[in-house]
């Protein structure tokens, strides 16, 4: 059996995060804070894990192998910071059970994530698959994050 590619591994984690996000958003929209808040926390934790995997392992490996330090990885890091800021604001709305604010900010986050993930899945991850011959080792390290 063929080992997973970086693209497949990371896109799979995008899907996991998307599912948790949808569950949290749906629960909050139904005023089910008891289910929504833990789902939101789980999503936020998985999203941060995803960012950490990229920023501490994948991006440095890619930059080291290709010499491209000011290109796509720099843009992805900037977008990560934008999403972290949105998550922080959504956390506040969640804590105060401000449904309107939660849903408005989560809509912005969803659009931002979709655009971000598309760039990663269509451009950056295929570049990492081509540039990093040790993809299986990198995936193993990211699983431990």
The confidence score (pLDDT) of residue 145 equals 84
pLDDT (tens digit per residue) in 43-64: 999 999 999 999 999 999 999 9
The confidence score (pLDDT) of residue 136 equals 92
Asked whether the predicted pLDDT for residue 2 surpasses 90, the reply is no
Asked whether the predicted pLDDT for residue 5 surpasses 90, the reply is yes
> Would you identify the CATH topology of the domain 6-144?
1.20.120
Residue boundaries of the structural domains of the chain: 6-144
The token pair at 20 is 């948790």
Torsion angles phi and psi, residue 134, rounded to 5: -100, 40
Distance between the two ends of the chain, CA-based, in angstroms? 24
- Mean pLDDT taken over the chain: 96
Rounded average pLDDT over 88-116? 98
pLDDT (tens digit per residue) in 7-31: 999 999 999 999 999 999 999 999 9
| pTM of the model as a whole | 0.95
């Amino acid at each position: 059996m063929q080992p997973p590619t970086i693209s497949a591994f990371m896109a799979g984690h995008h899907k996991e995060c998307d599912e948790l996000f949808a569950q949290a958003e749906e629960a909050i929209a139904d005023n089910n804070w008891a289910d929504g808040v833990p789902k939101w926390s789980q999503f936020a934790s998985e999203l941060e894990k995803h960012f950490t995997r990229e920023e501490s392992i994948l991006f440095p490996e890619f930059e080291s192998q290709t010499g491209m330090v000011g290109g796509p990885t720099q843009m992805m890091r900037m977008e990560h910071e934008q999403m972290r800021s949105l998550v922080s604001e959504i956390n506040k709305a969640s804590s105060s059970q401000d449904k309107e604010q939660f849903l408005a900010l989560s809509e912005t986050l969803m659009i931002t994530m979709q655009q971000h993930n598309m760039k990663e899945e269509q451009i950056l991850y295929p570049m990492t698959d081509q540039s990093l011959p040790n993809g299986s080792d990198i995936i193993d390290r990211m699983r431990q994050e």
